[in-house]
Amino acid sequence: MSNPSDDPPAAASADSVSHETPIQRALREKQEAIAARAKPPRGGRFQREQAARVKSGAVRPWSSK
């Protein structure tokens, strides 16, 4: 016998996808595409380099008095 928990989870999401409007589908696909993009590295050396950037006034030391 099959239990309700034996059903694949994709069946539930396919049911909800079939009832979405074209705008909802486009928004879902857009969010999936954004989530699939490469993310910038977090923490470590990259973060230290970003924090240690040259300040905007440091490029003109003669103007700071």
Which residue type is seen at 32? Answer: E
Which residue type is seen at 56? Answer: S
Give the pLDDT of the chain (65 residues) as one tens digit per residue: 556 566 555 555 555 567 999 999 999 999 999 999 988 777 788 778 777 776 666 666 676 65
Q: Give the whole-angstrom CA distance, residue 29 versus residue 23.
A: 10
Residue 18 half-sphere exposure toward CB, CA atoms < 13 A: 6
The residue ranges of every structural domain in the chain are 13-37
What pLDDT is stored for residue 39 in this prediction?
83
**Predicted model pTM:** 0.39
What pLDDT is stored for residue 52 in this prediction?
76
What pLDDT is stored for residue 31 in this prediction?
96
